[in-house]
Structure 1
Amino acid sequence: MWDRLWVDVHLATYARGTGKPGGDDFGIIRDGAIAAHHGRIIWVGRQADLPAAPEHLAREVLHCEGQWMTAGLVDPHTHLVFGGDRSSEFAERLQGVSYQDIARRGGGILSTVRSTREASEQDLLDSTLKRARRLMANGVTTVEIKSGYGLTLQDELKQLRVARAVSQHLPLRVHTTFLGAHALPPEFTGRQSDYVTYLCDTMLPTVAEAQLADSVDAFCETIAFQPEEVKRLFESARRWSLPVRLHADQMSDLGGAQLAAQWGALSADHVEYASEASVRAMAEAGTVSMLLPGAFYFVREQKLPPIALFRQYGVPMGLATDCNPGTSPILSPTGVMNMACTLFRLTPGEALAGHTHIAAKALGLKQDIGRLHTGMIADMAIWDVSGPHELSYWIGGITPTARIFGGIPDEHRV
């Protein structure tokens, strides 16, 4: 018998990777049923097509009373492990001080670096688990967590160990990313090339040997690292067989998205200033455009990402909270979906796809999560809504009535 069977439920399956640019094809099955066995989806379809009565098919039958089920949400870009906060910088920006000016005088990322270095590993784990629980309450079953607030070997390893530990404490899938190329640490002031050498020759190999990272990221921007420096890091990542992603073209067009595509990056993230040439390159490489409307909103950006070009060239658009203390203090994926629709004019179908199967693609996990389809891991969320479009309607505040991780509802866990 199957382990569990959910009945009287409407399904937004994205079963064939639907959710084409500009469309709202959720892969809907009304009056459906879905079963899980040994942690994976074993059957999905119309309830009327079940091969026998529900009670004869599964050890446990759960009645959803006409609610909607989606795949568990995936948050593919976060900076969840950090110390301190930067609410004072928020007040400064409201007075007209730019993010770039704050960063140049030692605030911004470096402010969080100081707080993260000072925090103990246990303190970081405790605060990260609180944030992770809030993501889970909002329907997230998989999360990517970056380092990048340590910028020494010891502190980057500390962040990555904390990120790895999250999945040992919570029913949450975690993808860890080494982001040592986030900012220039104060110890290397005036010696950026030396720091890049240290990243490539010492930090990344140590991280890789410790098996603490699933991918490598960098911040390619005028106030951070230049394309040639990023190439050196990506060459090192390739030697260690680690996939790459890139913070690209957030504040200017340095060709970061095109660089990401040339290196077969899983995603190019932010991409407000990405050119048409970069978009074409991303389409050819299959690189996901990771949209981060929370940061766009919070720093009051004016330059919209090239949504029409992404649609024209068929570049998949992912969504993430980008949860971080400086530019995107948000833990609500549905809030992000609303921002994506309101600010970027995504459709509700594109928004949900961006936080499910496209987000899974951006983590290299599209074969296992992000869709309701036989053989996929049974990570799911149940919502008391009129339809999947409603998830993008509410400005945050909407949470699932149930979250299922590996076929087990959270309320069944001891």
Structure 2
Amino acid sequence: MKADRLITECRLATMVQSDEPYGAVEDGAILIHHGKIVWAGPRGELPKHKAAETDLLGGRWVTPGLIDCHTHLVFGGDRSGEFEQRLGGATYEEIAKAGGGIVSSVRATREASEDDLFDSAMGRLEGLKATGVTTVEIKSGYGLDMEAELKMLRVARRIGKEGGVRVRTSYLGLHALPPEHRDDRDAYVDLAIGDILTAAHDHDLVDAVDAYCEPIAFTTAEVSRLFERARSLGLPVRLHADQLSDGGGAALAARYGALSADHVEHTTEEGVKAMAQAGVVAVLLPGAYLMLRETQAPPIALFRQHGVKMAVASDCNPGTSPLASMTAAINLACVQFRLTPEEALAGATREAARALGLYADVGRIRKGLAADLAVWDIDRPAELAYWLGKPMLHARYVGGDPS
């Protein structure tokens, strides 16, 4: 068997579903050729091969590279002042209605150059990479006009080329109402669904379409129009659903066969059943839950009962989740939502890949998938959920190359 690289003397948490927790292989090896895994399993069963490079890992654990499937990584400025306001008692809704929130990030993002946006995003990306991330989803949604939305998406594509990670982009035109359209809501919705999305698609800048469905954001009718347009362009959809209230977002996501419904703190059993039937992944965002000091957790027991897959992501953004660590997100998912460590790690690998439509490409250590891997200085996989802030990453591989 031809191979560019052999990784051995390691333990594998393959995250392939099996009777073995974590899909674990205690004494494992991986063969990589042309950026893909061509064999993975017990070292004693290693086939004959010719590998140009051999990496001996001294018994360290190897997992699939972590996948952050929900981020707002590209934005201008920050909102640390609003953080202080919330600590002083102001609610997220009150800040938004006073011209803060998303709209304040819109102003800063429009004023920033592409290079400035790239440089600031790369700083945040370093935090994610240092916690084992090899794939990142990046949304637009802080531009809210033609020029700035396309600028954000171009920066996201550049990160995918220069940042040492795989990137999937999401067009989030229905994120907030820009100030210039405060008195002409319909005109903005028409612009976001029509000209801006069309331009983003024509320039190959968008991999999926997203929206924020809440009373302070956009209605189910408006989101339905966006999703119909996405469907006509052959683009998959995702949805910020039921974060602050039960607005029927999960059911709407299911109706359109969305890849995921994200946040879902207020989703009802009816919505959970609809997600299960449609195969919609629930993306859990414990960073936002923590920062907003929410008290209603997502319906984890219902997701388990009805077989809804659960992903975990950072929701890295300037306002409600300034979190740039996937191991911290894994820890918070366990502590706040009571996921098991295995569920949380699956949520940051296998199920996160499913939420991005990348299940056949990344997220498990398995023959035929990309050789995106994270190597850890740990004694057992549960440590990735246990430690908060401890450096554990030994190495990353993206497409089989050390990074």
- TM-score range for the pair, normalised by the shorter chain length: over 0.9
Structure 2 residue identity aligned to 1:193:
D
Superposed counterparts of 1:95-244, under 5 Å: 95-244=88-237
1:250 aligned residue (243, 265, 268): 243
Contact (CA 8 Å) 1:391, 1:398: kept in 2 or not? no
| Counterpart position of 1:268 | 261
| Counterpart position of 2:14 | 13
Matched, 1:281 2:281: no
Query: How much has 1:266 moved relative to structure 2?
Result: 0.4
2:402 aligned residue (396, 409, 413): 409
1:45 aligned residue (41, 46, 49): 41
What CA distance in whole angstroms lies between the structure 1 residues aligned with 2:50 and 2:351? 32
1:137-184 CA distances to partner (integer Å, 9 max, x unpaired)?
Answer: 211110000000000011000000000000221221000000010000
Query: How much has 1:43 moved relative to structure 2?
Result: 1.0
1:273-313 CA distances to partner (integer Å, 9 max, x unpaired)?
Answer: 00101000000010000000000001100111000000000
What CA distance in whole angstroms lies between the structure 2 residues aligned with 1:396 and 1:236? 43
Q: Secondary structure at the match of 2:21?
A: coil
Structure 2 residue identity aligned to 1:31:
D
TM-align CA RMSD:
1.2
Query: How much has 1:62 moved relative to structure 2?
Result: 0.9
What CA distance in whole angstroms lies between the structure 1 residues aligned with 2:246 and 2:258? 17
2:283 aligned residue (286, 290, 296): 290
Instruction: Extract unaligned runs of 5+ from structure 2.
Output: none
Query: How much has 1:202 moved relative to structure 2?
Result: 1.2
What CA distance in whole angstroms lies between the structure 2 residues aligned with 1:9 and 1:132? 27
What CA distance in whole angstroms lies between the structure 2 residues aligned with 1:116 and 1:323? 15
Contact (CA 8 Å) 1:340, 1:351: kept in 2 or not? yes
How many residues end up aligned between the 2 structures?
A: 402
Matched, 1:397 2:390: yes
Matched, 1:2 2:28: no
Query: How much has 1:51 moved relative to structure 2?
Result: 2.8
What CA distance in whole angstroms lies between the structure 2 residues aligned with 1:398 and 1:226? 42
| Counterpart position of 2:339 | 346
Contact (CA 8 Å) 1:334, 1:398: kept in 2 or not? no
1:222-257 CA distances to partner (integer Å, 9 max, x unpaired)?
Answer: 100011110011111111111000000000000001
Structure 1 residue identity aligned to 2:59:
G
Farther-moved stretch of structure 1 (390-399 vs 6-15): 390-399
Query: How much has 1:31 moved relative to structure 2?
Result: 0.7
Matched, 1:335 2:328: yes
Structure 2 residue identity aligned to 1:320:
A
Percent identity over the alignment is 55
Matched, 1:71 2:67: no
What CA distance in whole angstroms lies between the structure 1 residues aligned with 2:126 and 2:4? 26
Farther-moved stretch of structure 1 (74-83 vs 163-172): 163-172
Query: How much has 1:197 moved relative to structure 2?
Result: 1.3
| Counterpart position of 1:299 | 292
Contact (CA 8 Å) 2:378, 2:392: kept in 1 or not? no
What CA distance in whole angstroms lies between the structure 2 residues aligned with 1:59 and 1:239? 47
What CA distance in whole angstroms lies between the structure 1 residues aligned with 2:192 and 2:291? 30
Large movers: runs of 4+ above 4 Å: none
Query: How much has 1:18 moved relative to structure 2?
Result: 5.2
What CA distance in whole angstroms lies between the structure 2 residues aligned with 1:185 and 1:229? 15
Contact (CA 8 Å) 1:290, 1:320: kept in 2 or not? yes
Query: How much has 1:398 moved relative to structure 2?
Result: 3.2
TM value normalised by structure 2: 0.98
Structure 2 residue identity aligned to 1:341:
C
